[in-house]
């Protein structure tokens, strides 16, 4: 494509999507995310980049998802999805950041530079799938994305309002037709079909109750479950709350992130003691479970609990198949509760890999195992299976003895039930319900597998989050100087104490995590570490207090 044909890139920017702010915006762990009012020019430019990425991938389809996930409604964001349904290749994050921040006058020349840098064949066709969440700002941003694709003569296909995992699924299927059909209906056919198939092999028994309460976070996940609910044929009775009506605001005092971070039940849900409740986040890629006891205290079953539940069941099925040469491993981040890591390694005897926060890091580490289970404590995760694993289990299902075939057929359905491309609240919900049903367990029995250490997360607003540097999968701080020494000194004064600090991937805050033997101690340690961050890393606003 000669430079003269890039003039439309500038024309679209100047006339329809001008850059109106000098605020620097960075492609983080979840793409670009900030106030929706600052994003229109960014999303337009990501439409340009998606076309270039498609051409660099020989015309394979790239995804663009307009969402700010668990953030509140005034925010929005955009992230790119690579052909296999995975996050954008990390080397392209710097390119995305550069393209997003240049002036309109430099946009044409910068686009030309990037075309040469990535060696994009501009004669190739380019395909981009675009999805969005339920935010009122999403349609305008999706339109900007379409214009970006058009400006470089790519082909855009709009999916409208979908969960983030549905778009990941569709991108994967478009590029690999053995995985499924690249439509929302194709997603339901595979995921819900596998759930119904596996439940027909598992009679309801023990203490398992088919009724599940769901907090939809007033987002897209609840809306999609409302569609799915009618097709479950009584295998699971979904009681849905927070579906976006009655003035409910997206992620406000509800949803997976609120439940996990605040350690409180969401508003808008009726609670019966010991009834299972699943909380989704705004775009449907996170899920946590919880219940309230007879004293109305909330008990949280987070991503660590989901990971251990799924890993233990897959291990059980592998034993049933008499398959011993497949390597199963579990991937966590520093946010994983210390008690869960101990349970996984000592009781389940499953190896654990710890990586930096961000699903892309967990996903890539999980791929190093034959079966990789990865979850962040916030409820974002899935299971990935190698081709060797799938072929091995399929062979057992055909050639094994009666019990081996039975276990293998269950595992094959379990694999089909899994959205391997990304964390998926709907898929994960069905996976959890499958395991609980198979074992006849209620939430108390699930909770009894191990005892979490009390923990607390806090945020400290700082002038520049990039002043915080970390190592050892973000468990140790290397900058500012002396901050880690201060953290270590504070931790040493608490029984079972552990704490770390890390810069947010999406906003100018530092995240603080602490755990100890009591909730009071965990709260106090978190507050003291927050004070240290404020003092040494350029805190802004009110100083944290020990009573926080």
In the predicted model, is pLDDT for residue 279 greater than 70? yes
Contact (Cβ atoms closer than 8 angstroms) between residue 64 and residue 145: yes
Cβ neighbours around 178 below 10 Å, total: 5
Q: Per-residue pLDDT averaged across 312-340, rounded?
A: 96
Burial of 203 (0-12, 13-18, 19+ CB in 10 A): exposed
All residues at 6 or more sequence positions from 366 whose CB lies less than 8 Å from its CB, including other chains: 329, 331, 372, 373, 374, 383, 384
Helix (H) or strand (E) holding 462: none
**pLDDT-based confidence at 35, cuts 50/70/90?**
very high
Predicted confidence (pLDDT) per residue in 65-84, tens digit: 999 999 999 999 999 999 99
Q: How far is it, in rounded angstroms, from Cα 280 to Cα 215?
A: 6
Q: Give the model's confidence band at 3: pLDDT under 50 very low, under 70 low, under 90 confident, else very high.
A: very low
- 281 is an annotated ligand-binding site residue: yes
Alpha-carbon span 407 to 322, nearest angstrom: 9
**Residue 376, annotated ligand binder?**
yes
The phi and psi torsions of 488 (rounded to 5 degrees) equal -60, -40
What is the Cβ-side half-sphere exposure of residue 307, based on CA atoms within 13 angstroms? Answer: 37
Tell me the mean pLDDT in the region 293-314. Answer: 96
Q: How confident is the model at residue 506 (pLDDT cuts 50, 70, 90)?
A: low
Region 127-138 average pLDDT: 98
CA distance 38 to 78: 12
103 is known to lie in a ligand binding site = no
Does 378 appear as a known binding residue? yes
| CATH T-level topology, domain 303-411 | Alpha-D-Glucose-1,6-Bisphosphate; Chain A, domain 3 (3.40.120)
Rounded to whole angstroms, how far apart are CA atoms 110 and 114?
A: 6
Judge contact between 458 and 544, C-beta under 8 A: yes
Region 174-195: mean pLDDT is 97
Q: Confirm whether residue 305 is marked as ligand binding.
A: no
**Residue 352: how many other CB atoms lie within 10 Å:** 18
Please report, for residues 298, 349, 408, the alpha-carbon distance to residue 314 in angstroms, rounded to integers and kept in the order given.
28, 13, 10
Token pair belonging to 530: 């927050």
Confidence of residue 548 (pLDDT cuts 50, 70, 90): very low
The answer to whether the beta carbons of residues 61 and 174 sit under 8 Å apart is yes
> Domain 188-301's class?
alpha beta
pLDDT recorded at residue 2: 47
Least confident of 178-182, 282-286, 360-364: 360-364
Return the structure tokens found at 464. Answer: 């520049």
User: What is the overall mean pLDDT for the chain?
Assistant: 95
Same fold for the domain at 188-301 and the one at 303-411? yes
Domain boundaries, the chain: 6-161, 188-301, 303-411, 455-537
Give the pLDDT band of residue 546 (cuts 50, 70, 90).
low
Is the bond preceding residue 164 a cis peptide, omega within 30 degrees? Answer: no
Nearest alpha carbon to residue 519 among 362, 306, 298, 361: 298
Q: Mind listing the pLDDT tens digit for each residue in 138-166?
A: 999 999 999 999 999 999 999 999 999 99
Dihedral angle computed from the Cα positions of residues 456, 459, 460 and 466, in that order, rounded to the nearest 10 degrees? 120
Task: Tell whether residue 295 is among the known ligand binding residues.
Answer: no
**Could you tell me which residues come within 8 angstroms of residue 523 by beta carbon, excluding any fewer than 6 positions away?**
456, 514, 548
Tell me the pLDDT band of 113, cut-offs 50, 70 and 90. very high
The pTM (predicted TM-score) of the whole model is 0.92
- List Cβ<8 Å contacts ≥24 apart for 320-323: 320/403, 320/404, 320/406, 320/407, 320/408, 320/410, 321/393, 321/396, 321/400, 321/404, 321/407, 321/408, 321/411, 322/396, 322/400, 322/404, 323/392, 323/393, 323/396
Average pLDDT value for residue range 12-27: 94
Q: Report, as an integer, the average pLDDT of 298-318.
A: 97
Band of pLDDT at residue 479, cut at 50, 70 and 90: very high
Is 382:420 a contact under the CB 8 Å cutoff?
Answer: yes
As a whole number of Å, the end-to-end CA separation of the chain is 58
Residues 6 or more apart whose CB falls under 8 angstroms from that of 71 comprise 33, 77, 251, 282, 506
Q: Could you give the residue numbers annotated as active site? A: 69
Judged by DSSP in three states, 14 sits in helix
Q: For 153, how many CA atoms within 13 A lie in the half-sphere containing its CB? A: 11
b/e per residue, 77-98, with b = 16+ CB within 10 A? bbbbbbbebbbbeeebbebbbb
Q: Is the dihedral of CA 144, 149, 152, 155 positive or negative?
A: negative
Q: How far apart are CA 187 and CA 176, in angstroms?
A: 14
Q: Which residues contact 535 (CB under 8 A, 6 or more apart)?
A: none
| Topology classification of domain 6-161 | Alpha-D-Glucose-1,6-Bisphosphate; Chain A, domain 3 (3.40.120)
Q: In this structure, are residues 313 and 435 in contact, taking their beta carbons and an 8 Å threshold?
A: yes
**pLDDT tens digit string along 441-476?**
999 999 999 999 999 999 999 988 889 999 999 999
Instruction: Check whether 325 is labelled as a binding-site residue.
Output: no
Round to whole Å and give the CA distance between 284 and 131: 13
Residue 297 has pLDDT above 50, yes or no: yes
Q: Is 69 part of any known ligand binding site?
A: yes
> What CATH number does the domain located at 455-537 have?
3.30.310.50
**428-452 average pLDDT score:** 97
Nearest to 17 by CA among 5, 8, 30, 25: 8
Question: Is the pLDDT score of 381 beyond 70?
Answer: yes
Task: Check: CB of residue 164 under 8 Å from CB of residue 171.
Answer: no
Contact predicate 131/160, CB 8 Å? yes
Q: What is the pLDDT of residue 504?
A: 86
The predicted structure's pLDDT at residue 547: 45
Q: Does the annotation place 475 within a ligand binding site?
A: no
């Amino acid at each position: 494509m000669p430079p003269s044909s890039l003039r439309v890139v500038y024309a679209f920017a100047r006339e329809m999507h001008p850059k109106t702010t000098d605020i620097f915006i960075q492609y983080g762990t979840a793409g670009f995310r900030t106030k929706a009012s600052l994003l229109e020019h960014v999303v337009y430019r990501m439409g340009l980049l998606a076309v270039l990425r498609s051409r660099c991938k020989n015309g394979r389809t790239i995804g663009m998802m307009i969402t700010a996930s668990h953030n509140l409604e005034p925010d929005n964001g955009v992230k790119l999805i690579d052909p296999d349904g995975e996050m954008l290749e990390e080397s392209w994050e710097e390119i995305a950041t550069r393209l997003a921040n240049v002036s309109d006058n430099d946009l044409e020349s910068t686009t030309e530079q990037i075309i040469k840098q990535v060696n994009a064949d501009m004669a190739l066709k380019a395909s981009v799938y675009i999805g969005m969440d339920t935010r009122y700002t999403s349609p305008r941003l999706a339109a900007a994305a379409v214009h970006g694709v058009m400006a470089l003569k790519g082909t855009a296909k709009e999916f409208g309002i979908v969960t983030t995992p549905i778009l990941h699924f569709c991108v994967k299927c478009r590029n690999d037709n053995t995985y499924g059909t690249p439509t929302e209906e194709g997603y339901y056919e595979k995921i819900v079909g596998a759930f119904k198939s596996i439940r027909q092999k598992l009679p309801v028994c023990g203490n398992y109750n088919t009724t599940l309460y769901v907090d939809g976070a007033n987002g897209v996940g609840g809306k999609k479950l409302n569609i799915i609910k009618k097709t479950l044929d009584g295998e699971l009775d979904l009681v849905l709350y927070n579906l976006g009506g009655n003035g409910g605001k997206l992620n406000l005092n509800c949803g997976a992130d609120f439940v996990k971070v605040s350690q409180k039940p969401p508003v808008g849900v009726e609670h019966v003691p010991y009834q299972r409740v699943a909380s989704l986040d705004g775009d449907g890629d996170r899920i946590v479970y919880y219940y309230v006891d007879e004293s109305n205290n909330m008990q949280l079953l987070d991503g660590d609990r989901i990971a251990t539940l799924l890993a233990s069941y897959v291990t059980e099925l592998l034993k049933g198949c008499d398959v011993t040469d497949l390597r199963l491993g579990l991937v966590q981040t520093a946010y994983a509760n210390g008690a869960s890591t101990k349970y996984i390694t000592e009781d389940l005897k499953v190896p654990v890999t710890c990586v930096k926060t961000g699903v892309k890091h967990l996903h890539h580490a999980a791929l190093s195992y034959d079966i990789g289970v990865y979850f962040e404590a916030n409820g974002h995760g899935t299971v990935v299976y190698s081709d060797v694993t799938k072929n091995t289990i399929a062979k057992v299902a055909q050639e094994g003895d009666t019990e081996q075939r039975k276990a293998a057929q269950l595992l094959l359905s379990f694999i089909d039930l899994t959205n391997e491309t990304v964390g998926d609240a709907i898929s994960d919900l069905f996976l959890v319900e499958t395991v609980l049903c198979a074992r006849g367990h209620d939430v108390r029995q699930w909770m009894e597998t191990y005892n979490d250490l009390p923990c607390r997360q806090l945020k400290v607003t700082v002038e520049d989050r990039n002043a915080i540097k970390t190592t050892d999968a973000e468990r140790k701080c290397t900058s500012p100087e002396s901050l880690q020494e201060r953290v270590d000194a504070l931790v040493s004064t608490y029984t079972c104490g552990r704490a770390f600090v890390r810069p947010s991937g999406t906003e100018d805050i530092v995240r603080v995590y602490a755990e100890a033997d009591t909730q009071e101690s965990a709260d106090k340690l978190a507050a003291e570490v927050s004070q240290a961050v404020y003092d040494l890393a350029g805190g802004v606003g009110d100083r944290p207090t020990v009573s926080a």
